[in-house]
């Protein structure tokens, strides 16, 4: 049974000197575990438990897991190499098919007619303002969108996006 996963951070790439996710610090992470049908929330202090929970999953599903979420989380674990977990990184799968990257919001809007409620930079601002509940809600919404896109693709064998001319395009998927 899959576990869907997303992280938000306390800081930005600009603050750590460029695109180096391994230098970012987790503010909040959320999983949705299909075995109990529940969301689970983690803070930076809970990262060892998060790594343990992901390590027990049959499959970890996310969007940009290998390029962002796993490198951010890896610094909190010496015992588990996250990139070796059974995983589906939907962004990587779509990029293989198309030859370019798409944002989760682009796919969700075209596939589900649901957009994201905020973005990672807004989540960093909320962190600085102590608005943790808003980060949790945003991260949960991202996990839910990820889950719905994954399930749509699994059931129908495609997802959708709009090209630069706003034409609806289908991307075959095999997850």
Q: From residue 87, how far is each of 54, 119, 143, 163 by CA, in Å?
A: 10, 23, 15, 27
Residue 119 has pLDDT above 80, yes or no: no
Domain that holds residue 168: 2-172
**pLDDT per residue over 39-94, tens digit each?**
999 999 999 999 999 999 999 999 999 999 999 999 999 889 999 999 999 999 99
pLDDT given for residue 1 in this prediction: 86
Average pLDDT over residues 123-147: 92
The confidence band for 13, taking pLDDT boundaries of 50, 70 and 90, is: confident
d(CA 121, CA 80): 28
CB-CB contact of 92 with 66 (8 Å): yes
pTM, rounded to two decimals: 0.92
- Give the pairing type, strands 26-33 and 59-62: unpaired
Token pair 């973005």: residue: 119
Integer-rounded Cα Rg, in Å, for the chain is 16
* Residues facing residue 30 across a β-bridge: 6, 41
Question: How many domains, in total, are found in the chain?
Answer: 1
pLDDT given for residue 116 in this prediction: 58
Q: The domain spanning residue 102 has which CATH number?
A: 3.30.420.10
Average pLDDT of the residues of the chain: 93
**Which of 42, 28, 50 lies closest to 132 in space, CA to CA?**
28
Residue 155 has pLDDT above 80, yes or no: yes
**Which of 10, 57, 55 lies closest to 33 in space, CA to CA?**
57
pLDDT given for residue 121 in this prediction: 74
d(CA 32, CA 36): 9
């Amino acid at each position: 049974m899959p576990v869907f996963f997303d992280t938000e951070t306390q800081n930005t790439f600009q603050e750590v000197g460029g695109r180096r996710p391994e230098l970012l610090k987790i503010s909040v992470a959320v999983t949705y575990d299909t075995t109990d049908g529940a969301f689970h929330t983690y803070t930076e202090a809970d990262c060892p438990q998060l790594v343990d929970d992901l390590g027990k999953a049959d499959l970890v599903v996310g969007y940009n897991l290998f390029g962002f979420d796993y490198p951010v989380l890896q610094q909190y674990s010496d015992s588990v190499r996250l990139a070796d977990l059974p995983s589906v990184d939907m962004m990587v799968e779509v990029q293989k098919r198309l030859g370019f990257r798409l944002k989760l919001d682009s796919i969700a809007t075209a596939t589900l007619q649901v957009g994201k409620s905020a973005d990672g930079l807004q989540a960093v601002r909320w962190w600085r303002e102590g608005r943790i509940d808003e980060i949790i809600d945003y991260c949960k919404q991202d996990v839910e969108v990820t889950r719905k896109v994954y399930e749509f693709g699994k059931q129908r064998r495609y997802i959708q996006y709009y090209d630069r001319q706003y034409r609806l395009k289908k991307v075959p998927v095999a997850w």
